[in-house]
């Protein structure tokens, strides 16, 4: 079903008066808020464990601990911390009997596996002592073995000390030069050192105090990373129910890896047999394997079009005896994020974007029918299912992730386990938000969000921050961000307008597809019509005091706007944006992205890198612009930002360049985030007031 022409009820929150001692959200509130993640249920569903990241304001260092809540009690006591103070941990997982809890920590100097009683109360027991960091892991179904990933050199195989020695020898060498023979010399924010992430299996110790130091290699014959880089995780591999094999998603592409999206599912046997490619017939992306309870069916997610990273992820089922595959919900025009199987094996739970929201869905394996589980509003970022208990984290435009528990069918009352941002910051008043829609490109319905300033009063006029999302196949939906958060602008007294232009995700695959080879026309038409619709619908918007801001594709669009729609704006902010589209095609690392979006390589006469190239319109630039870029951004290299700043300075246009030598495509360090927000807010205040 195509959803982008459907009407969605407005989600305007009830208005409330501005309290005398209230204030708006600011960046220092944002960075100090605790961050909740990784909801993990015990096998019986009676306990939930979750991770909470807290910032030490004195040191500026963030640590993540694990907390537990007994769900059989109804008292109001807060969850109990079960990992030691001062430790930073991640990736919790219960043993099959629920009595112990595993997690990763770098407390020993390298990231290793630890275990504690699920109720806490005892010091963690270290289980592994490998020479390298464990990147991810999964326990075997019987809890006796460990599948894990770590980065190794091919020639070292399962000899971790060998890989460590090679790293040490390189660091101690007098010469610093590196010779490369193929692309992916750098990826996201790291230069290649020759290692790949590979999968291994080890038997866990039975006695306390013994440490695992060796393992069996599973994937060293396959030239590919598992999990994938840079953001892959343990959802990309899984144990078979009988514990005799694993299935992993791996891209084996050789020299074509930087322009290939062909990930296949490989069956990796523990008996030493050769890996078996289960999805060789599909030349696009296959990932997220999950076995049926009886081990006869493999569920997974798959794209159809090679080279297109934003294609729809369909839910698939493979009969392992015959190799036959089928799509489970072909009428559902959404892209599934993951797979969790219900206790009875008849339902898949998954999240997906839908009309500016990110709900949790249940997909029937009997008939492919899809239903919403916990309500349509907000963004469900993570969830876990155990028996009849469902735990999930959900955020909105007014709160970061909050942990809830309910019944597996979503019909029971939702019980909050952690506090909302409003409860954590009782003196902060958040801007009310509302979703609106209008007719955009091609006569189709386009959605956007309006966030009022925190101190909104009827009859007053407010300057506007016009935020443009990245991707471009992304969305500024009803969710919380620690980087581009509209409440930080509302907290400064600005109204915020955000448009999910053609190309955005969550409105049907055709809507997402429409931006490819049309970066500068269809989205721009939506932004122009959305801006006009917002001004007409919300008379408190001051159209004469507005600034357009964006990052990544949003930064590209700001650079494009500077030469093609600069009339409404008193200032612009471009962060890590494409300036020269052709040079982007030669310098970015994931080449499949530029080549798909532009119709080929930069030297292909059929491709079009110039029609919507911002560098060709610098002559028409005139609006003051703040440029932001990070040195470690290898997706859109820093020279793109320097080019923008050079053009502005050479033309004598008021401009500034905020440079981060230690940030990538995102600004992640707390102090850098504060500087980013302060610099952007000062720029807005200078040009559109406050």
Instruction: Using the structure block, give the residue that is written with the tokens 């600034």.
Output: 547
* Nearest-angstrom CA–CA distance, 355 and 2: 11
Q: Which of 502, 518, 575, 665 is catalytic?
A: 665
CA–centroid distance for 561 within its chain: 27
245 strand-pairing partners: 269
* Nearest-angstrom CA–CA distance, 98 and 43: 6
Report the SS3 class of residue 298. Answer: strand
For helices 553-564 and 522-537, what crossing angle results, to 10°?
Answer: 80
* Nearest-angstrom CA–CA distance, 373 and 349: 9
* Nearest-angstrom CA–CA distance, 306 and 596: 9
**Active site (annotated) includes residue 665:** yes
Q: Which of 552, 594, 655, 673 is catalytic?
A: 552
Using alpha carbons, list the distances in angstroms from residue 673 to 31, 186, 247, 623, 668.
8, 25, 39, 25, 6
Q: Which of 633, 655, 673, 677 is catalytic?
A: 633
Task: Using alpha carbons, select from 470, 464, 454, 479 the residue that is nearest to residue 534.
Answer: 464
Helix, strand, coil percentages (3-state) for the chain, rounded to 5, are 20, 30, 50
* Nearest-angstrom CA–CA distance, 338 and 380: 12
**Active site (annotated) includes residue 552:** yes
Task: Using alpha carbons, select from 407, 409, 362, 413 the residue that is nearest to residue 389.
Answer: 407
Q: Are 332 and 322 in contact (CB under 8 A)?
A: no
Beta carbons within 10 angstroms of residue 296's beta carbon: 12
Tell how strand 495-500 and strand 462-468 pair up: parallel
Please give the DSSP secondary-structure letter assigned to residue 357: B
* Nearest-angstrom CA–CA distance, 624 and 569: 9
Query: Within 13 Å of residue 259, how many CA atoms lie on the same side as its CB?
Result: 16
* Nearest-angstrom CA–CA distance, 82 and 94: 13
* Nearest-angstrom CA–CA distance, 50 and 91: 9
Please give the DSSP secondary-structure letter assigned to residue 386: E
392 strand-pairing partners: 383, 404
Q: Among all residues, which ones are annotated catalytic?
A: 552, 633, 665
């Amino acid at each position: 079903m195509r959803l982008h022409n459907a009407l969605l009820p407005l989600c305007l929150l009830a208005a409330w008066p501005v309290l005398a001692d209230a204030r708006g959200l600011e960046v220092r509130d944002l960075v100090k808020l605790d961050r909740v993640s990784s909801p993990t249920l015990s096998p019986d569903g009676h306990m939930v464990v979750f991770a909470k990241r807290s910032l030490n304001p004195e040191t500026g260092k963030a640590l993540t601990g694990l907390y537990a809540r007994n769900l059989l009690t109804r008292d109001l006591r807060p969850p109990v911390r079960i990992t030691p103070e001062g430790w930073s941990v991640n990736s919790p997982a219960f043993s099959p009997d629920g009595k112990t809890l595993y997690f990763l920590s770098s407390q020993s100097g390298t990231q290793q596996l630890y275990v504690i009683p699920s109720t806490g109360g005892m010091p963690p027991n270290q289980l592994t002592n490998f020479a390298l960091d464990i990147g991810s892991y999964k326990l075997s179904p019987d809890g006796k073995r460990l599948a894990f990933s770590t980065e190794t050199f091919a020639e070292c195989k399962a000899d971790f000390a060998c890989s460590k020695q090679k790293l040490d020898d390189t660091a101690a060498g007098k010469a610093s030069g590196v010779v490369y023979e193929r692309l992916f010399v750098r990826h996201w924010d790291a230069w290649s050192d020759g290692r790949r992430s590979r999968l291994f299996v080890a038997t866990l110790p039975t006695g306390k105090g013994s440490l695992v130091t060796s393992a069996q290699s599973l994937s060293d014959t396959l030239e590919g990373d598992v999990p994938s880089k840079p953001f892959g995780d343990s959802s990309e591999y899984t144990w078979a129910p009988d514990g005799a094999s694993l299935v992993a998603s791996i891209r084996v592409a050789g020299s074509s890896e930087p322009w290939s999206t062909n990930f296949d599912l490989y069956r990796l046997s523990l008996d030493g047999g050769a890996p078996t490619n289960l999805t060789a017939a599909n030349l696009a992306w296959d990932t997220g394997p999950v076995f049926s309870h009886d081990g006869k069916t493999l569920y997974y997610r798959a794209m159809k079009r090679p080279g297109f990273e934003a294609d729809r992820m369909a839910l698939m089922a493979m009969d392992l005896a015959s190799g036959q595959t089928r799509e489970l919900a072909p009428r559902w025009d959404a892209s599934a994020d993951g797979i969790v199987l219900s206790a009875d094996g008849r339902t898949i739970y998954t999240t997906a974007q839908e009309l500016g929201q990110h709900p949790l869905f249940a997909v029937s394996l009997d008939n492919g029918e899809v239903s919403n589980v916990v309500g349509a509003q907000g963004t469900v970022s993570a969830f876990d299912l155990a028996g009849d208990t469902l735990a999930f984290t959900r955020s909105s435009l007014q709160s970061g992730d909050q942990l809830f528990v309910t019944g597996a069918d979503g019909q029971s009352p939702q019980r909050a386990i952690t506090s909302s941002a409003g409860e954590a910051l009782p003196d902060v008043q958040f801007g009310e938000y509302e979703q609106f829609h209008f007719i955009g490109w091609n006569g189709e319905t386009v959605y956007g969000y309006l966030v009022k300033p925190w101190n909104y009063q009827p009859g007053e006029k407010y300057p506007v921050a016009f935020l443009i999302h990245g991707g471009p196949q992304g969305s500024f939906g009803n969710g919380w961000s620690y980087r581009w958060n509209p409440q930080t602008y509302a907290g400064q007294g600005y109204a915020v307008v955000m448009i999910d232009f053609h190309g955005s995700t969550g409105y049907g695959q055709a809507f997402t597809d429409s931006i490819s080879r049309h970066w500068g026309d269809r989205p721009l038409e939506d932004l122009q019509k959305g801006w006009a619709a917002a001004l007409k619908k919300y008379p408190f918007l001051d159209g004469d005091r507005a600034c357009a801001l964006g990052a990544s594709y949003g930064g590209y669009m700001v650079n494009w706007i500077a030469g093609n729609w600069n009339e409404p704006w008193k200032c612009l902010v471009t962060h890590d944006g494409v300036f020269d589209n052709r040079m982007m095609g030669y310098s970015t690392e994931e080449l499949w992205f530029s080549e798909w979006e532009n119709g080929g390589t930069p030297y292909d006469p059929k491709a079009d890198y110039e029609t919507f190239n911002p560098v060709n319109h610098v002559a028409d630039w005139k609006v003051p612009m703040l440029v932001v870029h990070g040195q470690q951004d290898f997706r859109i290299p820093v020279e793109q930002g320097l080019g923008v700043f050079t053009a502005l300075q050479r033309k004598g246009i008021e401009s500034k360049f905020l440079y981060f030598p230690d940030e990538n495509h995102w600004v992640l360090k707390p102090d850098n985030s504060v500087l980013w927000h302060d610099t952007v807010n000062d720029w807005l205040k200078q040009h559109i007031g406050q």
